[in-house]
Amino acid sequence: MIGTMMSLIRGAALPVLAALLLAALVPLAHADPDWLTLGLTSRAGANFTRDPRFPTKGQTDLAVGGLIEFVPLSFLGIGTELGYHWTKPSNLDGGFRYRGHAGWDLRLYVMLRYLRLAESSKLLLFLGSNQGVTARLDHYDLTTLHFFYLGVFLHPYLELGLVELPVLSFQLSLPFEYYFRKDRDLSTSIGVGVAVRYSPLRKRWSE
Amino acid sequence: MPERPRIRRAVTAILLLSPWLVLLSCAIELDFDRYAVVYGISEYVAVGVQDLEYSDDDAQALSAILTGQGYNAVTRTDAAATYAQLISDLSQVAQQAGRDDLFVFFFSGHGCQDVSGGGEPPGGDGPSEGIVLNTASDYYILTDDELGGLVEDIPCNKKVVIIDACNSGGFIGNELESDGTPPEYDGGTEGFGALLSDAISLYLNYGDAGYDIDPSDAIVLAASGEREVSFESSQYQHGVFSYFLLESARDGDLDGDGMVTALEAFYYAKEQIEREWNVLFSGAYEQFSPHISGGPVDFYLFDAE
């Protein structure tokens, strides 16, 4: 009897969650879309790398990029970003270091703008996140050796909008990234990012 | 009133000392033993193998640098540089060295490629490459796979294999990296499209192929590509690659940290060969370019002299 009830509860969980999500989104569906957003990004942070033979070390990381988003709802968009990044070598402690590398980034992601945190007569503050996948083609410093790998990322952000200039906004993010490197036990990154965003078709910020 | 000058002096002292304290706290730890097996063959015992001029000098010169920097180095040249002796030397290192120690193997002499059809196992990079060692009365071709097996038995996590010989790029067992420098260098590099598709294919098909020297076991510095020859020069009185490798101990510290890593030594030698040797020739036969293993790590090699 209890087992049957548990099965029913488990079976109903997913549809119930979907319904709740839909109910939350329906009022927002009337929000004005941004339609198109262009932007420039910059990120700095630390890579943490571990080879099966050696302990984890940190490597500083810098990235720049340009993005384009299709934003059919003010709170939801899909985007792509093309960028370039540089990862510096780690220290040589213990007689080994993780190599520096640099290369191209291509990202596909979903942009979510969760809620308006604060507002004044001049400024608006939003909370959101970008999450998606990245494909990278890098080369090791001082070599012509190129390698490819995939990754996933989550970039929670604060977005500052200008009331009197709704086409422009600025983002401050905390990017978390995980890379699927086949020759490493661990390759992950955390840092700080900034972006300037231009949405030429946004006439006003949504209520 | 007297307190103020004392406090000011204390603050000044702290400010002056603090950069040094930071530097001390950032000092690199190199607390491990270093082992080297250094072989160079100019005189081949076998009648049919052409002698070289400077390979023994290459080995002696590198051994002098390594020994001077604290390496436990074993050096064999000419008739003493036999396959049996190499097995013995490597076995001795395997017994003495520990996991955190550094091991370097250097060879200068003849290299070759087996085009007779023996080849690599399935999935390998085609023909086997080898280095030519002496025996008591003949010669022995130590293949890339066999050398890889011998090196694998050395228990050190840090291993560097340096080969100044023809076709030495064939010893490199890259499984994830696509090399933009072609195996037969003619002054150009591979195109972006070819590199991208090759790199994606390697990533999607990654697996332990078990041939050549895997980058997860040792970094290989090879004088030349898999399909090209390397040279020695009367101008340098050394093999061309060995000459610039030796120079890198003095001039190869690219980041100014007082140490030369395998990657720095490779880059220095490669750039100098391009600037000093390849510019003298327009033909692909004489031009050559060193290669290095892929993989995420780089190892200390020399103290910068």
Is residue A168, in this structure, part of any structural domain at all?
A: yes
Predicted pLDDT at B23: 44
Do A131 and A44 fall into the same domain? yes
Judge whether A186 lies within some domain: yes
- A98 and A178, same domain (yes or no): yes
pLDDT score, position B118? 54
A18/A107 same-domain check: no
| Overall average pLDDT of the B135-140 stretch | 95
Handedness of CA B44, B50, B56, B58 (dihedral sign): negative
Question: Could you give the residue ranges of the DSSP H alpha helices within A1-128?
Answer: 2-28
Q: Pick from B26, B154, B176 the residue to mutate for testing the A interface (most A CBs within 10 Å).
A: B176
Nearest to B158 among A96, A141, A146 (CB): A96
Round to whole Å and give the CA distance between A198 and A36: 8
- A153 pLDDT exceeds 90? yes
Say yes or no: A21 and A37 in one domain. Answer: no
Residue of A84, A144, A184 to mutate, interface with B, max B Cβ within 10 Å:
A144
Please indicate, yes or no, whether residues A112 and A153 belong to a single structural domain of this protein: yes
Q: Give residue A71's pLDDT.
A: 93
In the prediction, which pLDDT does B186 show?
A: 78
Work out the percent of chain B whose per-residue pLDDT is above 70. 86
Q: Which of A26-30, A39-43, A130-134, B201-205 has the lowest mean pLDDT?
A: A26-30
What are the chain B neighbours of A55 within 8 Å (beta carbons)? none
CA distance linking residue A63 with residue A84, whole number of Å: 6
Closest Cβ opposite residue A146 in set B100, B180, B255? B180
Mean pLDDT of chain B: 88
Q: Which among A135, A90, A184 has a CA at the least distance from the CA of B296? A: A184
> Is residue A205 assigned to a domain?
no
Q: What does the alpha-carbon distance between residue B72 and residue B131 come to, in Å, rounded to a whole number?
A: 23
Please, which residues 19-48 of chain A have a Cβ atom closer than 8 Å to chain B?
Answer: none
Which residues in chain B have Cβ-Cβ distances shorter than 8 Å to A94? Answer: 29-30, 32, 100
Of B28, B179, B216, the CB nearest to A145: B179
Q: How confident is the model at residue B22 (pLDDT cuts 50, 70, 90)?
A: very low
Q: Tell me if chain B has a CB within 8 Å of the CB of A155.
A: no
Give the model confidence (pLDDT) of A69-83 as tens digits. 999 988 999 999 999
Domain of A7? Answer: 1-30
Question: What average pLDDT does the segment B82-101 reach?
Answer: 97
- What domain count does chain B have? 1
For residues A190 and A164, membership in a common domain is answered with yes
The domain that contains B271 carries what CATH number?
3.40.50.1460
The verdict on A181 touching B (C-beta cutoff 8 Å) is yes
The pLDDT assigned to A206 comes to: 74
At residue A34, the pLDDT reads 85
Which of the four pLDDT bands, split at 50, 70 and 90, describes residue B283? Answer: confident
- Across the interface, whether the CB atoms of B32 and A98 are under 8 A apart is answered no
The pTM of this model reads 0.87
Question: The complex's ipTM?
Answer: 0.87
Q: Which candidate in B22, B179, B203 is best for mutational testing of the A interface (most A CBs within 10 A)?
A: B203
Cβ separation A92–B257 shorter than 8 A: yes
Compute CA distances B127 → B114, B130, B171, whole Å: 6, 10, 11
pLDDT in tens, A5-64: 565 555 555 555 555 554 455 444 445 788 999 999 999 999 999 999 999 999 999 999
* Record: contact A147-B177, CB cut-off 8 A: yes
**B145-162 pLDDT per residue, tens:** 999 999 999 999 999 999
pLDDT higher than threshold 50 for residue B24 = no
Mean pLDDT on B220-226: 96
Do A53 and A22 lie in one domain? The reply is no
pLDDT in the model for residue B9: 63
Instruction: Establish if B157 belongs to a structural domain.
Output: yes
Residues of chain A contacting residue B254, judged by C-beta atoms under 8 Å apart: 142
A147/B199 Cβ within 8 A: yes
Is A207 a member of any domain? no
Percent of residues, chain B, with pLDDT higher than 90:
73
The answer on A126 and A48 residing in a single domain is yes
Q: Based on the fold, state whether residues A91 and A152 are members of the same structural domain.
A: yes
List, as one string, the DSSP characters of B40-76.
E-SS-SSTTSPP-SSHHHHHHHHHHHHHHTT-EEEEE
The model's confidence at residue B208, banded by pLDDT at 50, 70 and 90, is low
Kindly state whether residue A206 falls inside one of the protein's structural domains. no
For A92, which residue in chain B has the nearest alpha carbon? B28
Mean pLDDT of B84-101: 97
CB A128 within 8 A of CB A114: yes
Q: What is the CATH number of the domain that holds A145?
A: 2.40.160.20
Residue B221: pLDDT over 90: yes
Q: Residue A23: what pLDDT?
A: 47
- pLDDT of residue A128 exceeding 80, the answer is yes
**Among A12-16, A169-173, B84-88, B277-281, the least confident range:** A12-16
Q: Which residues of chain A are within 8 Å of residue B294 when distances are taken between CB atoms?
A: 140, 143, 145, 147, 183
Band (B285; pLDDT cuts 50, 70, 90): confident
Note whether A89 and A140 are same-domain residues. yes
Range of the domain at B177: 29-303
Distances in Å between the Cα of A167 and the Cα atoms of A129, A163, B232 are 19, 9, 66
Report the number of distinct structural domains present in chain A: 2
According to the model, what pLDDT value does residue B12 have? Answer: 57
List, for residues A8-24, the tens digit of each pLDDT value: 555 555 555 555 554 45
Q: Identify all chain B residues contacting A51, using CB atoms and an 8 Å cutoff.
A: 216, 296-297
pLDDT of residue B73 exceeding 80 = yes
Q: Which residues of A touch B215 (CB under 8 A)?
A: 183
B2-11, B107-116, B149-158, B194-203, range with the lowest pLDDT: B2-11
State the pLDDT at residue A13: 57
Domain match, A74 and A102 both? yes
Could you tell me whether strands B158-164 and B219-222 are parallel, antiparallel, or unpaired per DSSP bridges?
A: parallel
Q: Mark whether A47 and A25 lie in a shared domain.
A: no
Q: How confident is the model at residue B15 (pLDDT cuts 50, 70, 90)?
A: low
Mean pLDDT in residue range B34-55: 96
Nearest CA in chain A to B293: A145
B9: in domain? no
Report chain A residues whose CB lies below 8 A from the CB of B296: 49, 51, 98-99, 181, 183-184
Residue A131, in any domain of the structure: yes
Q: Residue B20: which pLDDT band, with cuts at 50, 70 and 90?
A: very low
Mark yes or no for CB contact A92/B259 under 8 Å. yes
